[in-house]
Amino acid sequence: MAGRFPQRPTTAPVRVTGRTAARYTRSHPLPPGTELALVLGPLRRGPADPAYRAARDGSFWRVSRTPEGPGTLRVTARDGVAEAHAWGEGAAWLLDRLPALLGAEDDPAAFTPRHKLLAAVHRRRPGLRLLRTGLVLESLIPSILEQKVTTDEAYRAWRLLVRKYGEPAPGPAPDGMHVMPDARAWSLIPSWEWHRAGVDDKRAATILRVCRVARRMEEAADMPPAEARKRLELIPGVGPWTSAEVVQRSHGAPDEVTTGDYHLPGIVGWALAGDRTADDAAMLALLAPYEGQRHRAARLILLSGRVPPRRAPRMTPGDIAPL
């Protein structure tokens, strides 16, 4: 599927006003029915994510720290074509990998629904493509922040730390967008600032360990997903839940289903077997017919909106800032 699309961008510098003067552009044909919101949605870490923005005009903004430096990417879709503009030192790198980011390396045809629910969702949402960023740390650090806490707590920590220790996005990005800190900047965050952001010592220590071997972590982007997960899990504090969340984004891995999640087994169990008490083993058994595409199957189940009725109270957010 990837061979249908050009692999190198045609870049044309244009003078614009903004923090970075050079703008680069690229057009990319989209498979019929592609929905940018579905494709790029997994990159969003909360409604106020400083590295991701869905604008009212239908454009999607993404800020990344690439191997060539910070870059800002704006993508719109019209008449089956994605129009991308990029700014900053990482602009060419981002445009070079635009097809993979928009799911050109994904193959939805490899998925065969074996449940009525999945067949209906697959038919109703044909625009789902699994993205591949080719970047590890930008998914690994926020995934560590999401360990064992509510999503609101994790999103708040990511927002506060990126805005304070990152740098403003290059180019005319929307206000408040920032590039995440580099490995050295993460390593220099004082302990009290982690606490003010609501990050406990365990998660902070895991991020520091990751940053000490940042280059080795980024090398995992070129490995097969299973090998990449093994590389990530060599770091104490990075387990199967975290590594799966990373390779789903960095590799576009269609089979790397998340285990150890607080909600997902019950959602999958309820959707496919009416079992709200399903654990990881039961979830994997239900997803076994989709081997090779288990992550896609889980994404489609989440898109179906079929979740078990809530019985227990929501997880209570913690507050370690006063400690």
10-residue block means of pLDDT along the chain (323 residues)? 35 39 85 93 96 97 97 96 97 97 95 97 93 98 97 97 97 96 98 98 98 98 98 98 98 98 96 97 98 98 91 58 54
User: 């061979």: which residue's tokens?
Assistant: 3
Record the pTM: 0.89
The neighbour count for residue 190, using CB atoms within 10 Å, is 8
67: its two tokens: 């191997």
Q: Say how far apart CA 84 and CA 276 lie, in whole Å.
A: 42
Q: Say how far apart CA 34 and CA 31 lie, in whole Å.
A: 6
Please check whether residue 71 is in contact with residue 177, taking contact to mean a CB–CB distance below 8 angstroms: no
**No. of H helices and E strands in the chain?**
15, 8
Q: Say how far apart CA 206 and CA 19 lie, in whole Å.
A: 33
**What pLDDT score does 18 carry?**
39
- If DSSP codes are grouped into helix, strand and coil, which group holds residue 16? coil
**What pLDDT score does 12 carry?**
40
- If DSSP codes are grouped into helix, strand and coil, which group holds residue 252? coil
